Chains A and B, each alone.
Chain A
Amino acid sequence: MFTFILRIIGIIILAPLAGGMLTGMDRVITARMQGRQGPPVLQPFYDVLKLLQKEPIEVNLMHRFYVYIALIFVIFTTVIMLTGGDILLAIFALTLGSIFFVLGGYASNSPYSLVGSERELLQMMAYEPMVLLTGIGLYYADNSFFIKDIVSAQAPAILSLPGIFLGLLFILTFKLRKSPFDLSMCHHGHQEIVQGITTEYSGRDLAVIEITHWYETVIALTLVFVFFATKAPVSYVFAVLACLLAYFLEIVIDNGFARVKWQLALDSSWIITGVLGTVNLIILSFFR
């Protein structure tokens, strides 16, 4: 029991550190791709620490409440996933967190936040089927929703779920807020809707949003991880490599594409889900 609690505390502390490092690396790699030197790797941490030191301001009494709850549920999801819990439950908890984040945008009652919220919701609608199908596909492959069972299977799930994995990679672009699907907010300076949902947040609240995003990065990469991990410990190395590779791929895509309209975002992700995910599932169910 004691080690279990220790493990949970470890996850809660280490996950954002890993997420922050990844984000820092992302910024450096992006800069290098553009022929710039870029900020230090620790820049995301500097940003967050600065935000924590700033004066807190707000537009009304309620809107910060939602981002704190969003953070709590995203941490909850991270703990469920990294302790090997039920993948569908984790997805639901994550959705709950995201919904609170969206509600925060509504609660600000500001035009830019509202547009950001609507777009964020649309993005959620676009990627949600694929996320669910990922969980379902893993169940088909390994007969369990529990991540601890999935990562201790004989063969890696990727062998039976190549289509679902590709679909997941596609929607990770939404999850990691990368172009071409960074409609609601992104990590580049300017955007046509200012900063979307985060427009009205500043100081501590913005820091919380940033930390939430670090956790989300870890969650997204965990989803990639479970496709590669097996009973053999050496597979973990490959799985981590696959995660890094997937992240790198997302960075390349981010730098290579312009932001698309919502129609294309919705259409493409639903069609990709429909084709890759569904066909993969149908084939699996056929051999079952």
Chain B
Amino acid sequence: MNFIKKSPWILHYDGSSCNGCDIEVLASLTPLYDVERFGIINTGNPKHADILLITGSVNEQNIPVVKQLYEQMAEPKAVVAVGICATSGGIFAECYNVVGGVDKVLSVDVYVPGCAARPEAVIDGVVKALGILEQKQKRMRKRKYR
């Protein structure tokens, strides 16, 4: 049985953004959307997290940070890019310091478009990531037994 689907813990990282998506991410914790229904917890600690949820684009300075946070997460782990900036760089794409979307640094599993992404979309994205996590877990197990 895969319990990862029942208890996905999230690490929320904000690259360079207008904070619109961040507010929407936090909004999903509020009683109206209540992501804890799905066992989702916003941990704020990579070592505990299963899903790295990134809002905002990646810039030169936070590339190592994003990489390190991802490295510090335990397998299986998934990356969800929330908002148009995280998927492609959005309106910041042309900035001198911005590299682009998160996929320039990490392999992204789920893209959630929107400016800002609505809480429903954020939750939907995370729930999509659960399926990917499950597959990763299966693969991990196979590797272990091989």
Complex alpha-carbon distance, A220 and B75, angstroms? 35
Complex alpha-carbon distance, A31 and B4, angstroms? 22
How many A-B residue pairs lie within 8 Å, measured between CB atoms? 79
Complex alpha-carbon distance, A288 and B1, angstroms? 60
B42 at the interface (CB under 8 A from A): yes
A199 at the interface (CB under 8 A from B): yes
Closest B residue by C-beta to A54: B74
Contact with A along B47-74 (1 / 0, CB 8 A): 1101000000000000000000000101
A53 at the interface (CB under 8 A from B): yes
Q: Which of A12-20, A152-160, A200-208 contacts B (4 or more CB under 8 A)?
A: A200-208
Say whether chain B's binding surface is mostly helix, strand, loop, or mixed: loop
Check if A50 sits within 8 Å of B7, measured CB to CB: yes
A233 at the interface (CB under 8 A from B): no
Complex alpha-carbon distance, A31 and B76, angstroms? 28
Cross-interface CB contact of A55 among B2, B6, B7, B75, cutoff 8 Å: B75
B41 at the interface (CB under 8 A from A): yes
Q: Considering the complex, which residues of chain A in the window 33-68 have a beta carbon less than 8 Å from any beta carbon of chain B? A: 34-40, 43, 46-47, 49-50, 53-57
Check if B45 sits within 8 Å of A31, measured CB to CB: no
Closest B residue by C-beta to A28: B36
Using A46-B6, A202-B74 as known contacts, say yes or no to A38 and B47 having CB atoms under 8 A apart. no
Say whether chain A's binding surface is mostly helix, strand, loop, or mixed: loop
Q: List 8 A-B contacts (CB under 8 A).
A: A36-B31, A37-B34, A47-B39, A55-B140, A57-B74, A194-B45, A199-B47, A202-B74
Chain A residues with CB below 8 A from B137, complex form = 53
Check if B140 sits within 8 Å of A189, measured CB to CB: no
Complex alpha-carbon distance, A56 and B74, angstroms? 7
Chain B residues with CB below 8 A from A36, complex form = 31, 34, 36-37
Using A194-B44, A202-B47 as known contacts, say yes or no to A46 and B74 having CB atoms under 8 A apart. no
Interface size class of chain B, counting residues whose CB lies under 8 Å from the partner chain:
20 to 34
What 3 A-B pairs come out closest when comparing CB atoms? A55-B75, A46-B6, A50-B3
Q: Which residues of B contact A (CB under 8 A)?
A: 1-4, 6-7, 29, 31, 34, 36-39, 41-45, 47-48, 50, 72, 74-76, 137, 140
Interface centre among A43, A54, A199, A200 (most CB of B within 10 A): A54
Complex alpha-carbon distance, A43 and B9, angstroms? 12
Check if B44 sits within 8 Å of A190, measured CB to CB: yes
A195 at the interface (CB under 8 A from B): yes
Check if A38 sits within 8 Å of B37, measured CB to CB: yes
Chain B residues with CB below 8 A from A31, complex form = 34, 36
Complex alpha-carbon distance, A35 and B3, angstroms? 26
